[in-house]
């Protein structure tokens, strides 16, 4: 007779939980995700038409780091990721605190803040393109009422990238907020009561209780929004297509543009640059952030 | 009225006003402009339409480019339903064995799950592969892609949930003579309903809203998905803003319905997936 658990034989386990259960997932994932990833390492070193390739060594990468419009993409990606991630941490935490406090119509507020997360990114992007129209847009109309003149949000190179980043935050802050809500709710209320008895004011309670104990939420929000920010494509494509000039191009949009232009080798090199970038930032960062958490 | 209740109402009203202004007004902007006629919508004003053209605009959007929106909706629904079914079944199978039976594969699989969450997919090699498999520009190809890209999320959620199901249940079933197939599909899978609902809701919204993957792997107007229909009404010189906004409005309705019915599961799933990731 077969038994499981600690005393169960290896064969018993294998019979009840067969390895072939991995198979359907492994085939789909292996063929359509892993294989192309490995293939990209090779094709990034070639000039490639999809039907034939010629090996050109590191030329694609050399081009990637020397052509100004490609370097722009790299720099913009970093700016975009850091700005959106930082803003989501700050705003998400503030909203999280507000929406766990005893505020009026709390459920409705939570729903309002979260709903944009579920809406089509393209729809949001196009809508905000209209709202940010320099002369007819609602945003500048409001600014005009206040007696000032709003900038050309999406066509002025100084503002374009930050304007898109703003919309990214608008759409994504709801997710950061619900993560913070989950984190803050799990902090035992006794801590706050004890602090209150000791005479700590609201700011001190935030600084000494909420901030350190909501740290797992902070780590999650940072990592998640950095990954999203570094890979971001659809919002930028819907709003500016990388323009004006190359001022809002990011690595993901460069990959698409090079693909459309038929530079498949260069596009694939962009892909390799992107996953090196993501891995080089996210992996060490999550390691450091998670380790400090254990020490503290 | 005490100072405390005053503060309660003032903060509440302020927060509500700000939330309305920042988060609700853009949606109202979409709605009012979807109801206008073409010249009025082109002004991009945030105002109630002088005449409402709800039915007219609706018909125009649906009929545009030979009923492309209808085709797109059918495509998107097939894509979402089949891909999500695959994600639930395959993800649960992996999560089940991974949680129940640690082996020398576990480390590798955990690593793959993380890689799948973090790494951006390699686009052009995937297109090359799909062409070779005869799956490029086919709905089946896109379905498999969506499964491959979202499996990690699904596995994480299922594994975490399966850890809460007592092993004794498996043992009892096996003593009764259940094979692995019966054990999983007849006994374990039905118990996974709460987490399955979460995976289904979160992933259907994500796949329905997906723009990038259809753009790369399913190009061409003939088999467009809903997200690509928005661009029908946007051209450099002659954008029909009223129809554009009507289109955005129409494709926002399915996620809105999901949100109204499954708000709790969506929020739970997104936070759980995020925290455990």
**Count, residues in chain B:** 277
∠ CA A30-A34-A35, rounded to 5°:
90
H or E element in which residue A53 lies: strand A53-55
* pLDDT tens digit sequence for A140-185: 888 898 888 888 899 998 999 999 999 999 999 999 999 999 889 8
State which residue of chain B sits closest to A116, comparing Cα positions: B23
Average pLDDT on A280-295 reads 78
Helices (H), chain A: 10-16, 23-29, 35-43, 59-66, 68-100, 106-114, 121-131, 138-145, 160-185, 189-197, 202-205, 211-213, 215-231, 234-239, 251-260, 264-295
Pick the closest to residue A186 from A178, A176, A174 (CA basis): A178
> A241's torsion region: left (phi>0), alpha (psi -120 to 50) or beta?
left
What is the dihedral angle through the alpha carbons of B141, B267, B106, A273, rounded to the nearest 10 degrees? 60
Which segments within chain B are labelled E, that is strand?
Answer: none
A37 at B interface, C-beta within 8 A: yes
Please say whether the beta carbons of A60 and A265 come within 8 A.
yes
Which residues have C-beta within 8 Å of that of residue B167, sequence separation ≥ 6?
A4, A5, B100
**Shortest Cα–Cα distance, B75 to chain A (Å):** 16
Chain B segment 213-252 residues within 8 A of A by beta carbon are 215-216, 227, 230, 234, 241, 244-245, 248, 251-252
Please say whether the beta carbons of B143 and B75 come within 8 A.
no
**Per-residue pLDDT at A234 exceeds 90:** yes
Q: Look-up: residue for tokens 């409005």?
A: B249
Domain over B68-276 is classified CATH 3.40.50.150: no
Please say whether the beta carbons of B42 and A137 come within 8 A.
no
Average pLDDT on B206-214 reads 94
Its ipTM equals 0.89
Please say whether the beta carbons of A80 and A169 come within 8 A.
no
Q: Look-up: residue for tokens 């709460």?
A: B194
* Residues of chain A with C-beta less than 8 angstroms from the C-beta of B186: none
CA distance B208 to B73: 9
Token representation of residue B215: 């753009």
Token representation of residue A236: 């930028």
Q: How confident is the model at residue B274 (pLDDT cuts 50, 70, 90)?
A: low
Q: How confident is the model at residue B180 (pLDDT cuts 50, 70, 90)?
A: confident
Inspect the interface and report whether the beta carbons of B274 and A175 lie closer than 8 Å: yes
Q: How far is CA B269 from the centre of its chain?
A: 12
Q: What is the pLDDT of residue A163?
A: 95
Q: Average pLDDT of chain A?
A: 88
Percentage of residues in chain B having pLDDT higher than 90:
48
Q: What is the pLDDT of residue A5?
A: 46
∠ CA B188-B180-B93, rounded to 5°:
55
* pLDDT tens digit sequence for B62-87: 888 888 899 999 999 999 999 999 99
Domain limits, chain B:
68-276
- pTM of the full predicted structure? 0.90
Token representation of residue A31: 């063929």
Q: Identify the burial level of B67 via C-beta atoms within 10 angstroms of its C-beta, where 0-12 means exposed, 13-18 middle and 19 or more buried.
A: exposed
CA distances from A187 to A183, A208, A210, A214 (A): 7, 12, 8, 8
CA distance B129 to A50: 10
CA distance A264 to A137: 38
CA distance B3 to B150: 51
Chain B segment 257-276 residues within 8 A of A by beta carbon are 258-259, 263, 266-267, 270-271, 274-275
**Per-residue pLDDT at A231 exceeds 90:** yes
Q: Is B29 helix (H, G, I), strand (E, B) or coil?
A: helix
> Which domains are present in chain A?
80-295 (1.10.3720.10)
B123 vs A293, higher pLDDT: B123
Token representation of residue A35: 């294989």
**Shortest Cα–Cα distance, B271 to chain A (Å):** 5
CA distances from B70 to A118, B57, B222 (A): 22, 15, 11
CA distance A18 to B98: 10
Chain A segment 90-109 residues within 8 A of B by beta carbon are 98, 102-105, 108-109
B12 at A interface, C-beta within 8 A: yes
Q: Average pLDDT of chain B?
A: 89
Which residues have C-beta within 8 Å of that of residue A155, sequence separation ≥ 6?
A134, A244
Pick the closest to residue A293 from A217, A188, A181, A207 (CA basis): A217
Q: What is the pLDDT of residue B149?
A: 95
CA distance A87 to A110: 18
CA distance A109 to B12: 10
Which residues have C-beta within 8 Å of that of residue B25, sequence separation ≥ 6?
A138, B46
CA distance B229 to B43: 23
**Per-residue pLDDT at A68 exceeds 90:** no
**Per-residue pLDDT at B187 exceeds 80:** yes
* Residues of chain A with C-beta less than 8 angstroms from the C-beta of B16: 104-105, 108-109
What is the CB neighbour count within 10 angstroms for residue B220? 8
* pLDDT tens digit sequence for A111-129: 999 999 999 999 999 999 9
Q: Look-up: residue for tokens 């600084």?
A: A207
**Main-chain phi, psi angles of A10, to 5 degrees:** -55, -40
């Amino acid at each position: 007779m077969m038994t499981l658990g600690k005393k169960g034989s290896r064969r018993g386990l294998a019979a009840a939980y067969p390895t072939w259960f991995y198979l359907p997932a492994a085939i789909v994932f292996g063929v359509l995700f892993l294989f192309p990833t490995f293939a990209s390492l090779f094709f990034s070193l070639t000039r490639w038409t999809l039907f034939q390739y010629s090996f050109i060594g590191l030329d694609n990468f050399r081009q990637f780091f020397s052509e100004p419009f490609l370097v722009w993409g790299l720099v913009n990606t970093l700016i975009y990721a850091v700005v959106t991630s930082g803003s989501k941490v700050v705003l998400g935490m503030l909203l999280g605190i507000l929406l766990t406090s005893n505020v009026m119509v709390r459920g409705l507020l939570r729903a309002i803040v979260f709903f944009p997360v579920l809406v089509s990114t393209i729809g949001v992007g196009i809508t905000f393109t209209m709202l940010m129209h320099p002369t007819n847009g609602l945003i500048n109309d409001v600014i005009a009422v206040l007696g000032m003149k709003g900038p050309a949000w999406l066509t002025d190179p100084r503002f374009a990238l930050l304007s898109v980043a703003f919309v990214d935050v608008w759409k994504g802050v709801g997710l950061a907020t619900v993560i913070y809500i989950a984190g803050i709710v799990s902090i035992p209320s006794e801590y706050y009561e004890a602090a209150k008895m000791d005479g700590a004011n609201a700011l001190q309670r935030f600084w000494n209780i909420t901030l350190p104990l909501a740290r797992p939420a902070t780590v999650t929000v940072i990592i998640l929004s950095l990954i999203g920010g570094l890979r971001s494509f659809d919002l930028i494509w819907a709003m500016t297509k990388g323009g004006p000039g190359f001022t809002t191009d990011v690595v993901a949009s460069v990959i698409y543009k090079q693909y459309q232009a038929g530079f498949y080798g260069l596009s694939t090199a962009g892909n390799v640059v992107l996953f090196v970038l993501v891995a080089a930032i996210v992996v060490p960062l999550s390691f450091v952030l998670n380790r400090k958490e254990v020490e503290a | 009225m005490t100072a405390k209740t005053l503060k309660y109402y003032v903060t509440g009203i302020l927060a509500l006003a700000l939330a309305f202004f920042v988060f609700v007004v853009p949606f109202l902007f979409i709605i009012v402009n979807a109801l206008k006629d073409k010249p009025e919508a082109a002004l991009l004003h945030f105002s109630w339409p002088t005449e409402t053209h709800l039915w007219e605009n609706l018909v125009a959007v649906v009929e545009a480019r030979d009923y492309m929106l209808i085709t797109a909706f059918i495509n998107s629904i097939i894509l979402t339903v089949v891909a999500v079914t695959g994600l639930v079944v395959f993800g649960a199978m992996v999560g089940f064995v991974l949680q129940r039976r640690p082996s020398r594969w576990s480390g590798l699989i955990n690593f793959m799950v993380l890689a799948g969450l973090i790494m951006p997919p390699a686009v052009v090699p995937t297109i090359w592969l799909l062409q070779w498999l005869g799956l490029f520009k086919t709905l089946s190809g896109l379905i498999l892609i969506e499964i491959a890209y979202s499996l990690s999320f699904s596995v994480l959620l299922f594994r975490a949930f399966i850890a809460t199901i007592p092993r004794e249940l498996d043992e009892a079933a096996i003593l009764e003579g259940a094979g692995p197939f019966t054990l999983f599909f007849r006994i374990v899978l039905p118990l996974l309903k709460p987490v399955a609902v979460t995976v289904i809701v979160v992933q259907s919204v994500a796949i329905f809203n997906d723009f990038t993957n259809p753009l790369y792997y399913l190009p061409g107007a003939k088999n467009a998905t809903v997200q690509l229909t928005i661009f029908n009404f946007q051209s450099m010189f002659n954008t029909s803003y009223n129809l554009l906004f009507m289109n955005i409005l129409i494709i926002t309705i399915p996620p809105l319905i999901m949100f109204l019915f499954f708000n709790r599961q969506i929020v739970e799933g997104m936070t759980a997936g995020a925290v455990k990731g």
